[in-house]
Amino acid sequence: MVVAGGLVIGVLALQGDVREHLYALAEAGVLARPIRRPAELDQIDALVVPGGESTTMSKLAIEFGLLEPIQKMIADGLPAYGSCAGMIMLSGEVLDGRPDQRSFGGIDMTVRRNAFGRQVDSFEASVELEGIEGGAFHAVFIRAPWVERVGEAVRVVGRVTDGPAAGRIVAVRQENLLATAFHPELTGDLRVHQFFVDMVRGVRDDAEG
Ligand code: GLN
């Protein structure tokens, strides 16, 4: 199979909305592969961590022997994008997690799980994303985290612009790691996946945002 640019992007396929990310990445013009075993990590240029349930994902990552290899690859510079539970998995610090919950880390930030509370468990809101053209992103949040603290190396890429959670940080980037609290894989708007693919290709360097 010949794919423009020859990039292979893995989607962590332990749990969550794996298929939707595989589809979005394929639409964005890369070869997308599900990742379930450590050996499969050798074949990828970047990793997407899907939405789902971070406690379950953490447990399965440990069981499948993926936690440490992925932690190390991310620390060594593997580009990664996480949506919702995936954002939690890329976070250095997790609030309101289970005590035995582990993350891959990589982004120097603190996220709070299920932060938006019961009344706004699932909601939709507009998010302006820095570096992504074409207007505000229509973002779908499902028991989403928000970002409570970012380190100096982290760039805030998006905040909720309206509704009860206005101002909350919901998209961040640290070098070649990207995370959103919402699920672009569910809405058919490919701009976030395209942004990530361009990032992996090196088209969008940090200065560009
Ligand atoms: N609340 C979930 C968690 O803690 C995330 C929800 C999602 O990915 N839609 O992992």
Residue for token digits 């760039």?
A: 155
Question: In this predicted structure, what is the pLDDT of residue 205?
Answer: 64
In a domain, 3, yes or no: no
Tell which atom from ligand 1 comes closest to the C-alpha of 114. 1
d(CA 20, CA 27): 11
Ligand 1 near 143 CB (within 6 A): yes
Catalytic residue (one of 20, 21, 185, 193): 185
176: left (phi over 0), alpha (psi -120 to 50) or beta: alpha
Q: Is the CB of 101 under 6 A from ligand 1?
A: no
95 φ/ψ angles, rounded to the nearest 5 degrees: -100, 150
Per the structure, the count of domains in the chain is 1
Q: Tokens standing for 95?
A: 């609030």
Distance between CA atoms of residues 189 and 129, nearest Å: 13
Q: Tell me which amino acid residue 103 is.
A: S
**Is residue 85 a part of any domain in this protein?**
yes
- Within a domain: residue 57? yes
> Ligand 1 atom closest to Cα of 84?
8
* 112 C-alpha to ligand 1 centroid (Å): 10
Q: Could you tell me if the CB of 53 is within 6 A of ligand 1?
A: yes
With the C-alpha atoms ordered 151, 103, 66, 68, is the resulting torsion angle positive or negative?
A: positive
**Predicted local distance difference test score (pLDDT) of residue 162:** 80
In a domain, 1, yes or no: no
Average pLDDT, the chain: 93
pLDDT digits (tens, 9 = 90+) for 163-194: 778 899 999 999 999 999 999 999 999 999 99
Instruction: Name the residue among 66, 65, 29, 26 with its Cα closest to residue 49.
Output: 66
Q: Is 52 in the pocket of ligand 1 (CB under 6 A)?
A: yes
66 located within any domain: yes
How confident is the prediction along the chain (209 residues), in pLDDT tens digits per residue? 444 558 999 999 999 999 999 999 999 999 999 999 999 999 999 999 999 999 999 999 999 999 999 999 999 999 999 999 999 999 999 999 999 999 999 999 999 999 987 656 788 999 999 999 999 999 999 999 999 999 999 999 999 988 778 899 999 999 999 999 999 999 999 999 999 999 999 866 664 44
Is 79 within a domain?
yes
DSSP E strand stretches across 88-168: 91-95, 107-112, 122-129, 137-142, 146-150, 155-160
- pLDDT value, residue 121: 79
185 in active site: yes
pLDDT of residue 2: 45
Domain that holds residue 120: 8-208
Instruction: Give the residue, out of 11, 53, 187, with the most ligand 1 atoms within 8 A of its beta carbon, to mutate for a pocket test.
Output: 53
Q: Dump pLDDT digits (tens) for 101-127.
A: 999 999 999 999 999 876 567 889 999
Active site residue 124: no
In a domain, 166, yes or no: yes
Going by alpha carbons, the residue nearest to atom 9 of ligand 1 is 142
Are the C-beta atoms of 52 and 150 separated by less than 8 Å?
no
Residues 6+ apart with CB under 8 A from 117: none
Instruction: Determine, yes or no, domain membership for 111.
Output: yes
> Helices in the chain by DSSP H: which ranges?
18-27, 54-63, 67-75, 85-89, 191-201
What pLDDT, on the 0 to 100 scale, is given for residue 1? 43
| Structural tokens at position 60 | 């399965």
**Helices 54-63 + 67-75 axis angle, to 10:** 100
Residue 85's CATH number: 3.40.50.880
**Look-up: residue for tokens 């809405």?**
187
Q: Based on the residue annotation, tell me whether 133 is a catalytic residue of this protein.
A: no
